[in-house]
Structure 1
Amino acid sequence: MRWIRAAGRGLLVVAVVLSGYVASGTGAGGARESGRGPLTLATAGDLTSYLGPQLDGWNRTHPGEKVTLVELPDSADETHAQMTTDLRGGDRSRFDVLNIDVAWTSEFAAAGWISPLDGARFPLGSFLPPVVDTARYEGRLYAVPYVTNAGLLLYRKDILAKEGVAPPRTWAELEHQAKTIAPKYGLGGYAGQFLPYEGLTVNAAEAVYSAGGTILGDEGERVTVNSAAAREGIGFLARGVREGWIPKKALTYKEEESKQAFQDGHLLFLRNWPYAYVGASAKGSAVAGKVGAVPLPGPDGPGTSVLGGSNLAVNTHARHPDSARRLIAYLTSEPVQRQVLTKGALPPVRAALYEDPELIREFPYLPTLRESVLAAAPRPKSPRYDQVSLVVQAVVADALTGHETPRAAVQRLARELAAISRR
């Protein structure tokens, strides 16, 4: 998560006391506790350090419902491991509310770790429409969107201006500019997040979706990846590494490493979350004032980003469920959502903020980001998402390193995903 990073990213993951209904939770000793009281919120790597001050505001006005922040690792994979280990402890769980990666909603709901929520209590109609779907499983609301995200193509606008070319809209244009322009300036052509971790799942899914393919259907029950579109998408990335316009070093990049490479002036193009645009444009960056952003390219025009971000969900064993719901309402209120952007450099879920002239002046990528979010697609939904992601990472990594052809990789991916769906 970046949501966060999806993300992809340095992704924000929070665990707080949340509950979807009025009934009170169960305490560690099995005793019933009241609906209001202190909360525990765990976050994975608040890289911009904005969340603490937000919670300070809540704590000042809710002295009997103070939130304790627990930071988990920066890595989405490590955060997932720690969260699931804790949740398996049932009423011994340390966490009350979970700000989970959007891809984990189905898994956590199917496992019974999070409670259904009453959508009428939250301003879902004010959110960008695609983000609400990431909070549902089998037609029920199990979480509330808190931060969204979509991948963007960052580029060196100073260099493209010197060359008299527009930023790429298609894969062919991206490949051509990465091959022919980047070497003239001593730069790597294109990078994403290609280390085998959750970021590679995101990058691979975007390539497959952009080519018109899918990976899973029917909440993970049907495998759809064995297609010409999947071969084209994975083949595009594998060809880039083989031909060198994707530097081999990019195979070691997560969000932060790729952001730093671009920010230090080593890349012409970078796929990353919007927080990377903010960092690269900030004072002290080697490319400050030289960065542009456009939607991710696809084979014949703009491609499809994966939806990143995080959703606030209620631990089934939350101690103070009413406080949890109240906290979620606070974190998704307009003033706090504005701070999510201005203080955290993270994309808010409230649609109106993307059309605010003052915010657009400060964050000029907002219209592009809105366009990308509205056209984005979620990662494959599955109650076994952790296993799905591990398989995608392993197989696509073998394709990028040349250990398997894209055709063989897609066929293997279909077999291994089918085995997961049968478990």
Structure 2
Amino acid sequence: MRRLIPVVLAVLLVAGCSAAGSQETERFGGTGPFTLVIGRDTTAYLQPLLDRWNQTHPEERVSLLELPEAADEQRAQMVANLQAGSDRYDVLGLDVVWTAEFAEAGWILPLDRAMFPLDRFLPPVVDTALYRGKLWAVPYTSNAGLLYYRKDLLAKEGFEPPKTWAELRKQARTLRTKYDIGGYAGQFLAYEGLTVNFTEAVQSAGGQILSPDGTSVTMDVARAKAGLDFLVDGFREGWIPPESLSFKEEESRMAFQEGKLAFARNWPHAYGPATLSSVADKFGVTRLPGLNGPGAGSLGGYNLAVSAFSKRQKSATEFIRYFTSLENQRRVLADGSFPPVWAELYDDPDLIKRFPYLPVLKQSILSARPRPASANYNQVSLVIASAVSNALTPPFEEAGDDVVASMKGQLDEIIRVR
């Protein structure tokens, strides 16, 4: 009997390991139908790409779950699901600023770099998917802010597209008065879009808010005040219309393509719909202006990650390889007007003929700055959006340097907590 006990224990141990191994295989190597979770598709380009996958992968069909348009709301729904440990989501379409937070929280899985042709992607775009030396997602679309302008109205007045804030102010004031049109608008509702617009203004004045690794507040008060004053003066003087305080991306896009704005800051996806609108053939795009010359936009876009709680992680990973392939990236641009991540597509003559703004967009992406890789980015964004929103709202009583100093103090507290 004493000789049998070790044998029995060994058998039980092997059986237990086999069961655990089976669970691990199911958990981390599982295949089968899965779900892509991503922000709302406003251009109807996405489903045809999913249909192509489903036609060739009948046992691994992907279902689309669209979240709200606003990035803040997308994040809130994803976080609620992941905090609960739910396996409802498999492939996550993440705003590029969420990589650090989701990786730090253990909500997404590190990926094998060798599986993806990262050397053929735009370098700044790849950086948004890295955290602490590991690849946590794969770039799917990129983004950088652009200035949309009414080239027909500028031509009538003999204006060149503005390169500085002073030129933008002068032109916006002139066109507003002469053509009864709104001068300039961006995304000024108190959400992530306002954080981006303010960050771009600070960068375009030669400053920054946090260090690139998100571990310290590096805000120069004078440069940040210059960026804030650019926006506040626009509202105070009327060349930024007051209704734009409620604008997100879609509201500003619609206002421009309906002929209600002379200038608009927006992402590249607004280009395609504008070509089918009342301003088709009447508009152009250029880099964002800055204090003393072309400004620096914020790097945006989506990365695709695999949920740590998915039971179909092998299928999810293979889908990401498919979805970020060169062929699909071409469709992302051609059908959705979203900036691809493959560098060579920006130099394709056929695509440039169809999308003349590609050289400008490539330069904008290469000169754009990524938002800080901070696990507390959501708190950082909330502080910035709230402070800037208060400053932009009449009666404009709080001095710009006081707003910036208060903001800097709150950001210091957030960074120290981490």
Match of 1:75 in 2: 70
Counterpart for residue 304 of structure 1: 296
Aligned match of 2:273 in 276, 279, 282? 279
Is 1:171 the counterpart of 2:165? The answer is yes
Alpha-carbon separation, structure 1, partners of 2:258 and 2:53: 37
TM-aligned CA deviation for residue 301 of structure 1? 1.0
Counterpart CA distance in 1 for 2:216 and 2:399 is 24
User: For this pair of structures, how many residues does the alignment match?
Assistant: 396
Task: Give the deviation of 1:24 after TM superposition.
Answer: 9.1
The equivalent residue for 1:266 is: 260
Match of 1:386 in 2: 378
3-state SS of 1:309 partner: strand
Distance 1:158-1:119 versus aligned 2 partners, 3 A rule: same
C-alpha change, 1:335 and 1:415, in structure 2 (3 Å) is: same
SS of equivalent residue, structure 1 residue 313: strand
Query: 1:203 maps to what in 2?
Result: 197
Partner of 1:362: 354
Question: In the alignment, is the contact (CA less than 8 A) between 1:55 and 1:67 conserved in 2?
Answer: yes
Q: Scaled by the length of structure 1, what TM-score is found?
A: 0.90
Cα distance in structure 1, aligned partners of 2:259 and 2:22: 52
- Summarize the alignment of residues 76-95 of structure 1 with structure 2, pairs less than 5 Å apart: 76-90=71-85, 92-95=86-89
**Secondary structure of 2:256's partner?**
helix
| 1:413 shift after superposition | 0.9
**Runs of at least 4 residues of structure 1 off by over 4 A?**
23-27, 30-34
Distance in 2, matches of 1:240 and 1:177, equals: 12
Question: Residues 194-230 of structure 1, C-alpha deviation per residue, up to 9 Å, x if partnerless?
Answer: 0101110110110011111111115322011243111
* 3-state SS in 1 of match to 2:59: helix
Matched, 1:105 2:99: yes
Distance 1:69 1:275 in 2: 20
- Work out whether 1:48 is the aligned partner of 2:29: no
**Structure 1: how far apart are the matches of 2:83 and 2:129?**
21
Identify which of 210, 219, 225 aligns with 2:213.
219
* 3-state SS, counterpart of residue 153 of structure 1: strand
Cα distance 1:24–1:406, how it changes in 2: closer, same or farther (>3 A)?
Answer: farther
Q: How far off is 1:93 after superposition?
A: 3.1
The worse-fitting range, judged by mean Cα deviation, of 156-165 and 314-323 is 314-323
C-alpha displacement at 1:265, in angstroms? Answer: 0.8
Local SS of the residue matching 1:222: coil
Q: Any gaps of 5 or more consecutive residues in structure 2?
A: 1-19
Q: Match for residue 240 of structure 2?
A: 246
Partner of 1:232: 226
Query: 8 Å contact 1:217–1:381 — kept in the other structure?
Result: no
| 1:121 aligned partner | 115
With over 3 angstroms needed to count, the CA separation of the structure-2 counterparts of 1:67 and 1:25, relative to structure 1, is farther
Distance between the aligned counterparts of 1:122 and 1:354, measured in 2? 19
Q: How far apart in 1 are the matches of 2:92 and 2:22?
A: 15
Counterpart CA distance in 2 for 1:346 and 1:387 is 28
C-alpha distance in 2 between matches for 1:382 and 1:197: 18
Superimposed CA distance per residue, residues 251-283 of structure 1 (whole angstroms, 9 cap, x where no aligned partner): 11111111111111111110001121221221x
Say if 1:24 and 1:322, in contact at 8 Å, map to a contact too. Answer: no
Residue in 2 that maps onto 1:156: 150
Give me the whole-angstrom Cα distance separating, in 2, the residues matched to 1:262 and 1:390. 27
What is the aligned partner in structure 1 of residue 282 from structure 2? Answer: 290
Structure 2 counterpart of 1:319: 311
Does the 8 A contact of 1:100 with 1:310 survive in 2?
Answer: yes
2:338 aligns with: 346
For residues 333 and 30 of structure 2, the distance between their equivalents in structure 1, rounded to whole angstroms, comes to 31
Correspondence 1:132 to 2:108: no
SS at match of 1:190: strand
Amino acid in structure 2 at the alignment position of 1:35? G
Q: Counterpart of 1:99 in structure 2: which amino acid?
A: G
Deviation at 1:169, TM superposition (A): 0.6
Change (3 A) 1:54 1:369: same
Query: Residue in 2 aligned with 1:337?
Result: 329
Task: Give me the whole-angstrom Cα distance separating, in 2, the residues matched to 1:171 and 1:43.
Answer: 35
Shift of 1:31: 6.5
Q: For 1:134, give the aligned amino acid.
A: T
DSSP-derived class of the 1:217 partner: coil
- Superposition deviation, residue 234 in structure 1: 1.1
Partner of 2:31: 36
Contact kept? 1:191, 1:250, Cα under 8 Å: yes
CA distance in 1, matches of 2:324, 2:151: 34
Inter-CA distance 171–36: structure 2 relative to 1 (3 Å threshold): same
For residues 128-153 of structure 1, give each alpha carbon's deviation from its aligned partner in whole angstroms, at most 9, with x where no partner exists.
11101110112221111000011110
| More helix per residue | 2
Letter in 2 for 1:348: P
| Greater gyration radius | 2
How far the C-alpha of 1:422 sits from its partner, in A, is 2.4
The CA distance in 2 between the partners of 1:157 and 1:321, in whole Å, is: 48
Q: Which runs of 5+ in 1 are unaligned?
A: 1-22
Cα distance 1:26–1:348, how it changes in 2: closer, same or farther (>3 A)? farther
